[in-house]
Amino acid sequence: MNRTVIYLLTLGVFLTATAELVVAGILNVIAEEMNVSIAMAGQLISAYSLALAIGTPIVISMTSRMGRKKLLSCALSFFIAGCLLSSFSNDYSMLMVSRAILGLSAGVFLVVSFSTVAKLVPPEKIGSTIGTIILGFSCAIVLGVPIGITITNWMNWHLIFIILAFLSILILLGIIRLLPKIEGDIPVPFKNQLIVLASPVILTGLFITFFRDTGNSIMYTYLTPFLEDILLLRPTTIGLIMLLFGVFGVIGSRLGGFAADKWGTKRIILLCITVHAVSLAILPMVTSLQIAGLAILAVWVFSMFVVAPALQTYFIQEAPQSSSLVLSLNTSITHLALAAGAGLGGVAASSASSVFYHPWVASLTIGLGLIAAIVSFSIRQNKQTVPA
């Protein structure tokens, strides 16, 4: 029963992540239909991310005592409403509102899914189970966006959100029927929640996320120009390469959970972030060798996804009674970091008139995440060795 519920939640994450990512692939179509510029259409992505980043921790904090089944059902119901509003939007302002609804509901669903599965499985299985949930997001990167583009070319982009709403209704019915009753987090006074968030271990852990995701965003946002301009790949080949990278990501997120359970979150986080930084530091030195460059990028993508379940598990282990709140903040930090990385990447591209140096900028930023990890683990170790 628990396995079925976990797969249901994974499918739910796939649908919510697809709603987030699909707009980037059809931005030009939306801009043309809504009669707005590409830059204005791009703000639809910002509306989603800001609603998720700002609203999710607030909602999670206010609903911490609510049963997990009820909260997941409410989040998915709002997501369905957001999809229907998107599908029937015929002007830009209405579509902008729908994106905010989708961002907030998707953020809450993702975070509550993490905390729910952590309560469904024994502690030694948390990492692999979190990896399964993250698999939903990874699959959305590989499959969700191409499917959305295909549907748009076949019919129109409105149909994407009708399909997402219909499939989400099926997931909602499955959750209502199959998910056992799971209590919310133990009531923690707001003052005590602030104490949890002020924990040096948690704060430095959030810096791991910020610097890691900022660095990865610097590179990933400008990966297509790097493949085309630096590795000299043909545009027709880049689509296939991105698909293969996505497959590496799916495999990495799946294996990352099992690795965290077997070898511990500390080892996986330190190893993978080191691989992040080193692989990108080496990349500009081998750009004359196309195959070598692609191989290094594949290692980077793989390690990027392997570490994700370990980071989520680390926060659950460190703040079990406030895991939903901490995970929601971590999700917010991730989206802010993605925005920061895209901005820094733009500055780097403008300054150098090239994306050649992006791997080095990204590597240095990820290196700060590695330092944050070392500090966080040191504080954690000292805390555990202090006599009671």
What local confidence, expressed as pLDDT, does residue 194 receive? 61
Identify which has the larger pLDDT, 204 or 150. Answer: 204
Identify which has the larger pLDDT, 39 or 198. Answer: 198
What local confidence, expressed as pLDDT, does residue 185 receive? 66
Residue range 224-234: mean pLDDT, rounded = 86
Local confidence band at 345 (pLDDT 50, 70, 90 cut-offs)? confident
Whether the pLDDT of residue 388 is over 60: the answer is no
SS3 letters across 46-110: HHHHHHHHHHHHHHHHHCCCCCHHHHHHHHHHHHHHHHHHHHCCCCHHHHHHHHHHHHHHHHHHH
Identify which has the larger pLDDT, 24 or 176. Answer: 176
Local confidence band at 346 (pLDDT 50, 70, 90 cut-offs)? confident
Q: How far apart are CA 59 and CA 65, in angstroms?
A: 11
Look up residue 356 and give its DSSP letter: T
What local confidence, expressed as pLDDT, does residue 124 receive? 81
What local confidence, expressed as pLDDT, does residue 244 receive? 85
Q: How far apart are CA 235 and CA 227, in angstroms?
A: 9
What local confidence, expressed as pLDDT, does residue 38 receive? 67
All domains of the chain in start order, with CATH: 2-178 (1.20.1250.20), 190-385 (1.20.1250.20)
Give residue-wise pLDDT tens across range 273-306.
999 999 999 999 999 999 999 999 999 999 999 9
